[in-house]
Amino acid sequence: MRAVLQPHRLGLIGLALALAVWAAVSLRWDWIPRYAALGAEGLWRTAWLLVLSTLIGFALAVPLGLAQAAGPRVLALPARWFCTLIRGTPLLLQIWLIYYGLGSLFPQYPWIRHSDLWPILRQAWPYALLALSLSYAGYEGEVMRGAFKAVPHGQLEAARAYGLSRLAVFRRIWLPQALARVLPTLGGETVLQLKSTPLVATITVIEIYAVASRVRQDTFIIYEPLILLALVYLVFAGLIVLAFRWLERRFARGLG
């Protein structure tokens, strides 16, 4: 509390408050009630795209990292190529390749068009989710490679000497320790993933950024939606940081 109450901080806080009051009074916010429902939908879509793509991406990243850290060459090389490929090209390009490429390929096969999945595959969100998940997997596969390698080898040998099976060593020693080390990095990467989600607006997924763009196009109000959007993302990023801080406290216990 004392850090906040230094005189210059009070001045800056006063300045920020004055800015906020000025923005609330003199900028135009009358469009908010009209777009509130759409905005809530967009928020929800951004949230689940972020959570699902992070979970799927991480589930892929663990084998990718393991293959690179300890796998045979047959597995390690493709895993490394995948990570290089994902990390070496822009996400926007990947999203467009998957959406326009696969999206134009699928209708050519009648059995896909007549399958029960077709109503889902006709929408944009599966492609958005796929592209975001693959991207997260590529970046985190590289992170997990380093994490798996950083666990001291003696611990794994000790666990084997205790008679634990390979699977048990992985589940109870290797993965938890790698995870605990890598949580701070993952937190930062997840904020980056949040910052990537607006890109899916370019393939007609109506998440919160797309809602703000629509407000801009409909009403010709430029700054207000963008400022509100920036605040929304700041809150999202703050929530991610808090969530990872909680995870770190929970899982990094007992790690020196």
Partner 1 sequence: MLDWLFQVWPGLDASAALLSLSPPGWGGNLLRGAVNSLIIALGAFGLGCMIGTAGALGKLGGGPVTRDLLAVYTTVVRAVPELILILLLYYAGTDLLNQALGALGYRPVQISGLAAGIGVLGVVQGAYATEVLRGAIQAVPRGQIEAARAYGMSAVQVFRRVTVPAMLPLALPGLSNLWLIATKDTALLAIVGFSELTLETRQAASSTRAYFTFFLAAGALYLIMTLVSTRVFAWIEARYRRGQAGARA
170 is written with which tokens?
Answer: 């992985």
Asked if 93 touches partner 1 (CB under 8 A), the answer is: yes
Asked if 35 touches partner 1 (CB under 8 A), the answer is: no
Q: Which is nearer to partner 1, 76 or 191 (CB)?
A: 191
Q: Which is nearer to partner 1, 108 or 167 (CB)?
A: 108
Task: Show the CA angle centred on residue 58, arms to residues 55 and 60, nearest 5°.
Answer: 115
Q: Return the range that interacts with partner 1 (CB under 8 A); candidates 7-15, 111-119, 139-147, 246-254.
A: 7-15
In the region spanning residues 131 to 190, those forming contacts with partner 1, defined by CB under 8 A, are: none
Counting Cβ atoms within 10 Å, is residue 139 exposed (0-12), middle (13-18) or buried (19+)?
buried
Candidates 20, 55, 150, 234: give the one binding partner 1 (CB under 8 A): 234
Q: Return the range that interacts with partner 1 (CB under 8 A); candidates 66-74, 80-88, 142-150, 247-255.
A: 80-88
Interface with partner 1 (CB under 8 A), residue total 40
Asked if 124 touches partner 1 (CB under 8 A), the answer is: no
Q: Which is nearer to partner 1, 133 or 197 (CB)?
A: 197
To partner 1, the closest distance from the beta carbon of 32 in angstroms equals 18
Asked if 96 touches partner 1 (CB under 8 A), the answer is: yes
Q: How far apart (Å, rounded) are the C-alpha atoms in residues 28 and 224?
A: 7
The full 3-state SS of the chain, as one line of letters, equals CCCCCCHHHHHHHHHHHHHHHHHHHHCCCCCHHHHHHHHHHHHHHHHHHHHHHHHHHHHHHHHHHHHHHHCCHHHHHHHHHHHHHHHHCCHHHHHHHHHHHHHHHHHHCHHHHCCCCHHHHCCCHHHHHHHHHHHHHHHHHHHHHHHHHHCCHHHHHHHHHCCCCHHHHHHHHHHHHHHHHHHHHHHHHHHHHHHHHHHHHHHCCCCHHHHHHHHHHHHCCCHHHHHHHHHHHHHHHHHHHHHHHHHHHHHCCCCC
Q: Return the range that interacts with partner 1 (CB under 8 A); candidates 59-67, 152-160, 174-182, 231-239.
A: 231-239
To partner 1, the closest distance from the beta carbon of 90 in angstroms equals 4
Site string (185-224) toward partner 1, x via CB under 8 A: ------x--xxxxxx--x------x------------xx-
Candidates 22, 89, 158, 243: give the one binding partner 1 (CB under 8 A): 89
Q: Which residues bind partner 1 (CB under 8 A)?
A: 6, 8-9, 11-12, 84-85, 87-94, 96-97, 100-101, 104-105, 191, 194-199, 202, 209, 222-223, 226-227, 229-230, 233-234, 237-238
